């Protein structure tokens, strides 16, 4: 009559068998990975797959950095030149070396036209580059967010530039209204709201309003003292708006550098 193994004996058998199998597997793996041929094959595989991926990613990052740096430099130079040209005209730093009023007016007009023309070309070129490089940075209407924000900023810079010249009262009023709306919208933007405190934003709006009264030649002839008083108020307000637009432009460039362009 056959004998039946005790349950604990069967359990010990399977434990010994499992230990034996584990030892053989460990030995096989140890041999496998210690084999020079296997090591060479694995190394070749890694070289053929992982290294090219890392290289391509590094090259992509380098290209993105180059694109961002070039675009940011171009943008900063463009708005700085435009605001600077507008400030020179609006604060009376552009004039002809003559007492001839007609010649002086022609020099100022020529400088104004050149500066405005350059800005219009620059802002259009930058908008096209932003659209090409940041198409994935989208908003609800399907357009790139950074492009929409650049358009608003570029429009404000152009309005500032035009306000530095002698223009009709109704045109000046429209420009001031639009510019005030732009600054109001900036107060709601997380990236720009902290640039100025609440009191400073309110003071800025007051400065923009003062741009509505730029004294002209007629006022100069009528009352010279009042003309210089109004001129001083206008120039101080104009410089404050210029400084604010430069500050917003610098923050805009910083935001641009945080994004990843397409390369």
Question: Which residues neighbour 132 within 8 Å (Cβ) at sequence distance 6 or greater?
Answer: 262
Tell me: pLDDT of 103 over 90: no
Model confidence over 4-24: pLDDT tens digits? 444 455 555 555 655 665 666
Work out the average pLDDT over 238-255: 95
pLDDT at 140: 44
Long-range contacts for 251-254 (Cβ within 8 Å, ≥24 apart)?
Answer: 251/191, 251/192, 251/195, 252/75, 252/149, 252/150, 252/153, 253/72, 253/75, 253/76
Domain-by-domain residue ranges, the chain? 74-258
Residue 94 — pLDDT band, cuts 50, 70, 90? confident
- pLDDT score recorded for residue 245: 97
pLDDT surpasses 80 at 29: no
Please give the Cα distance from 241 to 205 (Å, whole number): 9
The pLDDT score that the predictor gives to residue 166 is: 87
Lowest mean pLDDT among 51-55, 192-196, 247-251: 51-55
Which pLDDT value is given to residue 55? 60
Tokens of 219: 């006022």
Of the listed ranges 25-29, 147-151, 259-263, the least confidently predicted one is 25-29
pLDDT computed for residue 20 by the predictor: 61
Q: Is the pLDDT of residue 47 over 70?
A: no
pLDDT at residue 179 tops 80: yes
pLDDT for res 211? 95
Greater confidence (107 vs 141) lies with: 107
**pLDDT at position 4:** 45
Q: Once rounded to an integer, what is the mean pLDDT over residues 92-117?
A: 82
pLDDT of residue 72: 94
pLDDT tens across 216-238, in order?
Answer: 878 888 898 998 999 999 999 99
152-162: average pLDDT: 96
DSSP string, the chain: -PPPPPHHHHHHHHHHHHHHHHHHHHHHHHHHHH-HHHHHHHHHHHHHHHHHHHHHHHHHHHHHHHHHHHHHHHHHHHHHHHHHHHHHHHTT----SSS-HHHHHHHHHHHHHHHHHHHHHHHHHHHHHHHHH-TTSB-TTSSBHHHHHHHHHHHHHHHHHHHTS---HHHHHHHHHHHHHHHHHHTT-TTTGGGS-HHHHHHHHHHHHHTT----HHHHHH-HHHHHHHHHHHHHHHHHHHHHHHHHHHHHHHHHHHS----
């Amino acid at each position: 009559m056959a004998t039946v193994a005790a349950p604990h004996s069967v359990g010990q058998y399977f434990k010994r068998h499992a230990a034996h199998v584990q030892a053989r597997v460990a030995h096989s793996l140890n041999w496998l990975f210690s084999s020079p041929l296997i090591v060479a094959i694995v190394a070749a595989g890694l070289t053929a797959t992982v290294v090219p991926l890392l290289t391509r990613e590094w090259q992509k990052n380098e290209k993105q950095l180059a694109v961002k740096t070039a675009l940011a430099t171009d943008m900063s130079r463009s708005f700085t030149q435009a605001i600077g040209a507008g400030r020179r005209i609006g604060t009376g730093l552009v004039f002809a070396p003559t007492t001839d009023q007609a010649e002086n007016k022609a020099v100022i007009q020529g400088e104004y036209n050149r500066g405005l023309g350059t800005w219009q070309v620059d802002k259009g070129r930058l908008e096209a580059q932003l659209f090409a490089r940041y198409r994935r940075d989208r908003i609800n209407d399907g357009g790139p967010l950074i492009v929409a924000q650049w358009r608003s900023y570029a429009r404000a810079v152009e309005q500032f530039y035009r306000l530095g010249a002698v223009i009709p009262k109704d045109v000046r009023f429209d420009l001031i209204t639009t510019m005030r709306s732009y600054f109001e919208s900036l107060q709601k933007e997380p990236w720009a709201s902290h640039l100025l405190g609440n009191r400073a934003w309110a003071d800025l709006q007051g400065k923009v309003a003062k741009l509505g009264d730029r004294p002209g030649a007629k006022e100069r002839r009528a009352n010279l003292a009042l003309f210089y008083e109004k001129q001083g108020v206008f120039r101080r307000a104009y410089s404050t708006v210029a400084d604010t637009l430069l500050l917003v432009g610098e923050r805009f460039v910083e935001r641009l550098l945080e994004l990843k362009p397409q390369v």
